[in-house]
Chain A
Amino acid sequence: MNMNFLDFEQPIAELEAKIEELRYVGDDAEVNINEEISRLQAKSRTLTESIFSNLNAWQVSQLARHPQRPYTLDYITRIFTDFEELHGDRAYADDAAIIGGVARLDGKPVMVIGHQKGRDTKEKIRRNFGMPRPEGYRKAKRLLEMAERFKLPVLTFIDTPGAYPGIGAEERGQSEAIARNLCVMADLKTPIICTVIGEGGSGGALAVGVGDRMLMLQYSIYSVISPEGCASILWKSAEKASDAAEALGVTSSRLKELGLVDEIIDEPLGGAHRDPEDMAGRVRERIMEHMDQLQRLPLDQLVAARYQRLMSYGEFVEK
């Protein structure tokens, strides 16, 4: 089994393996098998298109967590220039699970904040699998307030399984750190654009996810609880994660339908990790468009509109 491919992608993996094999043969054999290769490539493409046109919520969840999926820094390096990472909450520590700093987007000054997962084991541990501790959120808060002071639009990238459930995190006020950010973002006097690039894990995601625009990559997810967590509580079995993912409606398309997301940014065929360059280009283009729209609004209107938007969340009946 090819680990670069997920379970449901195995038929594609098999085709790709065959193509590789043929290429290898083609190198030393006299026969021209280029035709055969391009035939198989076309087949692989069609197969990918057909598999990806019909993904269920659980398959999308797996894509959102794909080990090769581009993370915040992969976007930062491709979208921005002059990025300088700023560290620490000025009180306790620097949390590597959240990164942030000043940068330029198309030459214009901005503040960038995002969750950061690690690629290899060592980095994964250093970044705590993208699960922030209170100091991470407090660093984000510091940068948010700085952005307001210096009139920098804020771009956040969301990609976390959730806030870290640890002893120290509780001791240092995980709840308070998250709650405080919700307040700060609610009326920060500068535009905020939030983009879910991978996993939007509950309060840990929302703590850098309150803004004027909510964008989601096509195969990213956003949920109040992980499908596994929900399944183990409501179905009493983590095996039912697939059912839970469906019921929770974690996908970008479902959340768009429900009016909780403004825009879906389509991914390249097979997912963002198949072509990070292309993906970053698409994200850049959409962020610039929204930033342009938001910067035309007077600040008091911008903040009032954000407040109205927050107040509009919820579905209930009035009796």
Chain B
Amino acid sequence: MSWFEKLMPSRIRTENKEKRTVPEGLWSKCPDCDAVLYRAELERNQEVCPKCGHHMRIGARRRLDLFLDPEPREEIGAGVQPSDPLRFRDSKKYIDRLKAAQKATGETDALVAMRGQVKGIPLVAAAFEFGFMGGSMGSVVGERFVRAANSAYDHNIPLVCFSASGGARMQEALFSLMQMAKTSAALNRLSRAGIPFVSVLTDPTMGGVSASLAMLGDINIGEPKALIGFAGPRVIEQTVRETLPEGFQRSEFLLEHGTLDLIVDRREMRERVASMLAILTHHAPISG
């Protein structure tokens, strides 16, 4: 204890070990408006900044939890798990990257799919886990997505997918690229059967995921200000050597250019998707 601290009366003295630091995770800062937010309140607000409306990224399970009715829920394709067909190795082994991602997220790969209901409407919903290797699509994501689509097909119920992905997973090389064709073919089958697919594009949806399943919705919904596009902004900037226009590749930009049907605030997502699905499937109007 320094001489100065000794001078202080003990009741206002704080020991170093119990510094008045904020307990980890109690407060969050909005990355957009810098407002300091109370975690519990942010959670109640579905990870949308109460001050500026900024939509923060959320995990796959949380996403489905916010979207689906509490009951019934049945996970699809959880047993499908990654392998390393190429024994890929860059600065790290792919297997080690997988293990690290599994540990960090608690998921086995980057997509979670469930059969359930939204406001009583039966459907299948899938969500990307961006925290798992950038939500990248490899064989497992492709297979789980197809199983989700097939479940929707078999039960004749709509499919909803929340995408958040950097694109195809490089570590599975051409297998990943082929998932674009695979998922698109499965969606095409749904479309031919007259089963609705609603694609919700969240921040970010890029590359191979954007250029396949995410753009194929009967209805394409963007979350506010989500980054959505084929090529990454940095790649484009390097290629065209121009400064990109303000708001480039954001949901609002895509809405203006005719790629999205609408932009929906996360806090209204459940109600509005349910309402649209009720119309497409000739259900009675959703109440409450």
Chain A contacts to B: CB under 8 angstroms: 163-167, 169-176, 178-180, 182-183, 185-187, 202-203, 206-207, 209-210, 222-225, 230, 233-236, 243-244, 247-250, 255, 258, 260, 307, 310-311, 313-319
Contact = CB atoms under 8 A, between A and B. Distances in A.
Q: What size tier do the contact residues of chain B reach?
A: 35 or more
A316 B82 contact: yes
Contacts of B208: 202-203, 224
Contacts of B26: none
A235 B91 contact: yes
A88 B53 CA distance: 43
Nearest to A176: B215
Contacts of B195: none
Chain B interface secondary structure, helix, strand, loop or mixed? helix
Given A248-B170, A311-B186, A314-B175, 15 more contacts: A163-B230, A175-B210, A179-B212, A182-B185, A183-B191, A183-B216, A224-B170, A249-B86, A249-B174, A310-B178, A310-B185, A314-B178, A314-B179, A315-B172, A316-B83
Contacts of A311: 146, 182, 185-186
Name the residue in A164, A176, A313 with the highest tally of chain B Cβ atoms < 10 Å from its Cβ.
Answer: A313
17 contacts: A167-B245, A170-B249, A173-B215, A174-B231, A179-B213, A186-B188, A203-B208, A224-B172, A234-B91, A248-B86, A249-B86, A258-B174, A310-B178, A311-B146, A314-B140, A315-B172, A316-B81
Contacts of B170: 224-225, 230, 233-234, 248
Interface of B: 79-83, 85-86, 88-91, 138-140, 142-143, 146, 168, 170, 172-182, 184-189, 191-192, 207-208, 210-216, 228-232, 235-236, 239-240, 242, 244-245, 248-249, 257-259
> Which of the listed residues B170, B182, B211, B212 has the most CB atoms from chain A within 10 Å of its own CB?
B211
A173 B242 contact: no
Contacts, number: 199
Among A170, A202, A258, max chain B CB count under 10 A is at A170
A248 B175 CA distance: 10
Contacts of B259: 173, 175-176
Contacts of A225: 168, 170
Contacts of A202: 168, 177, 208
B189 to A, nearest CB: 7
A318 B211 contact: no
A206 B139 CA distance: 16
Contacts of B82: 316-317
A235 B83 CA distance: 22
Contact of A313 (B168, B175, B242): B175
A318 B186 CA distance: 20
Contact of A235 (B79, B90, B230): B90
Contacts of A258: 85-86, 174-175
